[in-house]
Amino acid sequence: MFIHRFCSMIVLLALFSLMLLNNCAGLIAYLVFGILLSFFVTKEICEIFGNIQSHTDKIFLCMANTLIFILFYLIMFTKEHPQWRVYSSLTELCIFLLLVILFVAGLIQILRSVNDEEKLKKIVMNTFVFVFVNFPVCLITLIYFAFQSDCGCLHEHFHLTLNAGFLYFILVTKSGDIGAYAIGTLCGKLMKNGTHKMIPSVSPGKSYEGLAGGILTSVALSCILCSVFEIRALSGHWVLPVLGGLVLYFGGMIGDLVESSIKRTCKVKDSGRLIPGIGGVYDLLDSLFLSAPCFLLFLAAVNLVRNIL
């Protein structure tokens, strides 16, 4: 198990490192990452719901969600690169037409489901999975492109730069998971009566001690990264990195609790088995699904306050 987990982490770190590069390799790596994320998270969620007889059109949803991501990626790419901006309107038209087609197809399916409870349930589940996957994946992509101008020097000799804002978003969110697990586990071993559980009915492993450890880890790393790299959205006052760390930690924690609740209701341990030693793609990235919208709302609020002041 350790060997499998170690090998998986090496591959994931390699992909993550490539995504951070502000060059063609980074763009291609993120495109691959987004395709895998959209496809396999959709597949895993469909299979999870299948355990409680909530059936979906799995193959259709996997293909539709992957196509939505690719089109949204192309929209962001063409907007950020002037030489390709001429294709931006065409890409926007494609995604608009796709959404219209899917909407009309859904209405037709609803009309055909008269007196058929199972068909109506499937339509509702298809709609939920479509929104549940596409909304956060597109927001993560928005964060990736929004911070491309915030570059940190990776190696001065080779003139390589990285996407410092996206690095911040990923590391601060995931460090909260790691810090909460490490501190919670340590306190569980050291404290005579064990840790104080937060929501045992949803996630038995979550404790208030782990909560404190996760907050400290996320806030500390947030402050360190903001001092090392020039992340303009969080510059200007020391309180912004602190608030950024808090927002990403709590967003990530709630995202993790949402997945735990779904898996507990559907009576599954892991969302999938794609990543040896870890589980499914959703298991690995569940915290990002809610931290992304929370982070973007936080940045919007910061920008609004700056404009007012």
**Model confidence pLDDT, tens digit, residues 180-191:** 888 888 887 777
Cα–Cα–Cα angle for 215, 218, 221, rounded to 5 degrees: 140
Burial of 6 (0-12, 13-18, 19+ CB in 10 A): exposed
User: 251-263 pLDDT, tens per residue?
Assistant: 999 999 999 899 9
- What is the pLDDT, as a whole number, of residue 99? 87
pTM: 0.90
| pLDDT classification of 297: cutoffs 50, 70, 90 | very high
Stretch 47-61: mean pLDDT, rounded? 88
Residue 288 pLDDT greater than 50, yes or no:
yes
- pLDDT at position 250, please? 95
The pLDDT of residue 119: 84
Sequence-separated contacts (24+) of 82-88 with Cβ below 8 Å: none
Between residues 290 and 194, which one has the greater pLDDT? Answer: 290
Buried b / exposed e across 230-266, counting CB within 10 Å, b at 16+? ebebbeeeeebbbbbbbbbbbbbbebbbbbbebbeeb
Answer whether residue 295 shows pLDDT above 90: yes
Share of the chain above pLDDT 90, in %: 39
- What share of the chain in percent tops pLDDT 70? 92
pLDDT tens per residue across span 3-35: 766 677 788 888 888 888 888 888 999 999 999
Q: What are the pLDDT digits (tens) for 195-223?
A: 678 787 777 778 888 888 899 999 999 99
Residue 209 has a pLDDT of: 85
Phi-psi region of 231 (alpha: psi -120 to 50; beta: other; left: phi over 0): beta
Q: What is the pLDDT of residues 133-174, one digit of tens each?
A: 999 999 999 999 988 766 655 444 444 578 888 999 999 999
Where do the structural domains in the chain lie, given as residue ranges? 23-147, 152-309
Average pLDDT of every residue of the chain: 85
**Looking at the predicted structure, is the pLDDT value of residue 108 above 80?**
yes
Q: Are 248 and 176 in contact (CB under 8 A)?
A: yes
Closest CA to 285 of 25, 34, 47, 19: 34
pLDDT confidence band for 307 (50 / 70 / 90): confident
Q: Is the dihedral of CA 163, 168, 169, 171 positive or negative?
A: positive
